[in-house]
Amino acid sequence: MRTLKIEVSNSIYEHIIFFLQSLPKNLINISHETQAMTTVEKNFENRSLRGVFESYADPQKQVLEKEAWKNHVLEKHKRSMND
C-alpha cells in the first residue's frame, strides 16, 4: 500500500471521509486527523456575504431600503402594464 496525505477545507471534509469509508476495506486503510481551527479561520469559514453585509447595515435604513425596493417594483410593473 502507499500513503496519501491530503489537506481539505472543512466544508468538504465529511464528504471525502464518507466516500473513502464506503470503499472496500481490503483496498484502503483510513486514518485521519483534524486540526483545530483558529478563531480567524472559524469566523472566515462561517461568514456569508449576507452576514458580512448585515454586520455593517444600519437597521433604520434597512426599513427605508425595503420600502424603496417595493415601490420600485410596483412602479416598474405599472409601467410595463401600461405599455
- Phi, psi for 23 (deg, rounded to 5): -75, 155
Quick one: 42 and 59 in the same domain?
no
Give pLDDT, residue 66: 85
Distance of CA 49 to the CA centre of its chain: 9
Quick one: 31 and 64 in the same domain?
no
Quick one: 66 and 42 in the same domain?
no
Domain that holds residue 6: 1-46
Task: State how many domains the chain has.
Answer: 2
Per-residue pLDDT tens digits of the chain, which is 83 residues long: 788 888 888 888 888 888 888 888 888 888 877 766 665 555 555 556 666 666 667 778 878 888 898 899 888 888 777 76
Quick one: 42 and 68 in the same domain?
no
> Against a cut of 0.85, is the pTM above it?
no
Give pLDDT, residue 36: 67
Are 68 and 76 spatial neighbours (Cβ–Cβ below 8 Å)? no
Give pLDDT, residue 13: 85
